[in-house]
A and B are shown apart, each in its own frame.
Chain A
Amino acid sequence: MLSCKHIVDLGTDYLDQELNFWKKAEMKMHLMICGPCRRYIKQLKQTITMLSHWRMKQPTTEQLEQLKSNYQKAVSEG
């Protein structure tokens, strides 16, 4: 029987569909009866979505202006 701690360890493999049939079945059984672990999986998903939406670094005005002038030059010539 998998403990909650094991379930937490398998979170990424579960979400990325990397578990074999039996592990996955075992995990689903556990999740069916365990609210805290269901919440963990949901929170892990939310964490991943958040990371993918995170605009951590924006170009500086200078970088942006340089790229825009490069772009206009390349596209109008091309």
Chain B
Amino acid sequence: MSSVKGMGEELSRIALETASKENATYTDFRLVNSRNEATQVVNDNPSSEELTSLGVGVRVLYGGLGWGFADTDEMNRDGIREATLKALALAKGAAKVGIKIQFAKEPSYVDTWMSPVVKDPFNVPMEKKYELLNDCCERMKAEGVVLRRGGFVFTSIEKYFASSEGSKIFQRMIYSGGGLVVAAKGPTGMQRRSDQQWMLKGYELIDELEFPEKAEELKKDVIALNGAVKCPEGKKDIILSADQVGLQVHESCGHPIELDRALGYEANFAGRSFLTPDKLGKLQYGSEHVNMVMDATINHGPGLGTFAYDDEGVKAQRKYAVKNGKFVGFLMSRQTAAMVGEARSNGCMRAEGYRLPIIRMTNVSLEAGDWDYDEMIEDTKDGILMVTNYGWSIDQKRYNFQFNTEKGYIIRNGSVEEMVRSPAYSGITPEFWGSCDAVGNKKSWVLWGTPNCGKGQPQQVMITGHGAAPTRFRNVTVFGAQ
């Protein structure tokens, strides 16, 4: 720990002093040291790779009018000075055509934070990881099975942040995750079942997930799906599994509440948003059962969006995005918060490694309701239960979506009956969340991890968290994708 923190302290002084001498309005510096270990087995073929990187990103505001950013892996005084001067040159160029940039105020912090870890995944022998993966892949063998894939990824990130406002923050996070995929061919084509989870935890997560038992269940499912009937078409009540609700929250709430896209800064790639600032506090986003939070604090759980400070030094917070169905909050940066008159950013600036921070989801979660899962099923007369995402697509303003899932069951008179293959549903976001009439309680609520959210130009991949429970929606368009 101390070597990265010490290096950060030393090199940040170079960057901050260099920018200050050139009269920068504001400067921040992030040093990021990351280690990533990926191990997988596909059918009987093993693969492991470890990636390490160490670099610095320097962001400079010049004249209060223009931003510049440069990153470098040249970790010495000259390299940092050169990157800072490059960021300054870009900021000066941007300032020539810029307009006044305001910042929401944030206290400066001097702090250290380490994520809680029970079992350091990098101390677990590789032999043990391969033993577990091979066991899972062996258990997924069966007639018709053409793909058996298992993998783990472990990541350690140390980052040191310093700003010209006086913040000096060191954080260390350890993330773990893994998943299984099995695919089988049969009379209905190729069916897939999968299971995955990613959290801000150590190897204890892998122990908790009980992958060997899941491998057996997935194999049984995928074989059964090859003989399952097609999902009926029409308007039905649907109950989504908690992991599918997590992705629905990510796509239809998490992205449209990003304030940079709501203000138009992402129009060329990620898109715009139907949730514009003029709708804040006014638009009924969903039914009164729908409460969604943006919560980066550890109290929310060890999610992929959990941290102590974001990548512009704002302390982690919990805020509502949707309260009793009403749209009430954005994911913000200090600059965009000021643009919409908010006194403070809620700390959502995040960067892939030491690249430029942009507004990203933290943990955007659907709060648990009060429905017991069994009671929700018993209360459903004519519906489809849909489990685990297969594909997802949504328009650039986050209105029109279509999701298909890996497996489903017909619910008839309060009872889960025959399996259906490839159940899919589609809708328009506010209508869909407006049809939500039951959210599972805390017993069924899980903080899911999404390890692969793309945004930005050049595109950055971010990790996000989404708490969710099984949830029911009334009168939704459903169909069988296969």
A and B, one complex? no
Interface residues of A (CB under 8 A from B): none
